[in-house]
Amino acid sequence: MSEEMDFDYTPDIYTLVDEEGNEQQFELLDVMELDGNRYFALLPYFEDAEEALNSDGDLVVLKAEMVDGEELMASIDDDEEYDRVGNLFLEKLASMYEDEMEEIEGNLQ
């Protein structure tokens, strides 16, 4: 009996504007609460698969800031904070994908 798997995955895509006014799309990977702050892990998003393969794929970590009662994603200016939060996201994401791969391998056997 053949089972069809329906992957109806719609990523959370955000268009962000940098200090120079350039727009770029990012896919939200994860959100983390830490020390009373909210952080976001994002990857550049490309509709074209070839563009995505040619991308450096660097993880972008931003921090929530309240501006006029609205939550915005902002750069983290403190290098130590950025490194600490970025490493936590990398560890968490690596663990999530490791668990997923083990589950897939287990289902293939």
For the segment 14-72, what is each residue's pLDDT rounded down to a tens digit? 998 888 999 999 999 999 999 999 999 999 988 877 776 677 768 899 999 999 999 99
- Strand, helix or coil at 34? strand
Give the pTM. 0.74
Extract the tokens encoding 67. 């501006």
Token match 């490309």: residue? 46
The tokens for 95 are 């663990």
- β-bridge partners, 24: 16
Distance CA(106)–CA(109), nearest Å, equals 6
Question: 89: how many CB neighbours lie within 10 A of its CB?
Answer: 21
